[in-house]
Structure 1
């Protein structure tokens, strides 16, 4: 569920659990398009027949594809009204504890760890965990940095 706030409320978000996004299914088409975009056509991603005999029993999404899903997941969790610009400023830490097999459903849980005033706006430090439905470990654990300018 999307939390909607105004720019003036950003400073109060530190420590806020934003909950989790909805689930998305990772498809072979997504994996293939990502492989084309990044020129990473390793068989474990793009050859479903060969991947069946690989270490995960199925093709897996690229770690960076799974990480990239944080973008649409983030927009499901927080909407800030009254800003002129929103910037994905970067990441402080990223880990890929578990692979995402094609056909898996994933979602993101996020908590605002910190809010800092910056020139012209605010920077949010967000702890993000991309979870695999039914998985024992998360697919991605990351600390994202997002900037909002008035």
Structure 2
């Protein structure tokens, strides 16, 4: 269920609270190949199932940056800001890929807003995401996303 925030005060009141998990997303070979084409990263571990079968993971794996690029999709599923203007990506902190994402894995995410800072540009939210492959012992991504909510 999507968490709805109607004001910055509601966001502040929820600091540190885990939101989620998200609706699962399956990472199939078609998505991996499309990401490879979009970024030019055609390393065999991502796009060559035959060669990857003999590789360290026994199958193709998603690009770490593919997983990172899904944060806006997970965020839209997890929470909604019904205040302010535009949402502008400002960057990321502490991006880590602790475990691989094998092809056809199901991913879910949780989010926690861990900081709110105000500036003339708007409210800067730091949102910590933890993305997990269903059944895996460790997350596949832990990252803090910085988003400015304009006035």
Same fold (TM over 0.5): yes
CA-based RMSD? 1.2
1:75 aligns with 2:76: yes
> Which residue is 1:123 aligned to?
124
Paired residue secondary structure (1:123): strand
Hey, what's the Cα distance between the residues in 1 that align with 2:125 and 2:15?
8
User: Which residue of structure 1 aligns with residue 18 of structure 2?
Assistant: 17
Match of 1:134 in 2: 135
State the match for 1:4 in structure 2: 4
> How many positions carry a matched residue from both structures?
150
CA distance in 2, matches of 1:70, 1:103: 18
User: Deviations for 1:32-71, whole angstroms, at most 9, x for unmatched residues?
Assistant: 0111111111111001111111100000000000111111
C-alpha distance in structure 2 between counterparts of 1:147 and 1:30, whole Å: 28
Decide whether the 8 Å contact of 1:11 with 1:116 is kept in 2. Answer: no
1:40-119 aligned within 5 A: 40-119=41-120
Asked if structure 2 preserves the Cα contact closer than 8 Å seen for 1:131 and 1:139, the reply is: yes
Q: TM-score, normalised by structure 2?
A: 0.93
- The normalised TM-score by structure 1 is 0.94
CA-CA distance at 1:120 after TM superposition: 4.4
Structure 2, gaps ≥5 residues long: none
8 Å CA contact 1:13–1:115 kept in 2: the answer is no
Looking at structure 1, the residues matched to 53 and 101 of structure 2 have their Cα atoms a distance apart, in angstroms, of 14
SS at match of 1:79: strand
Higher fraction of strand? 1
SS of residue matched to 1:60: coil
Runs of 4+ in 1 over 4 A off after TM superposition: none
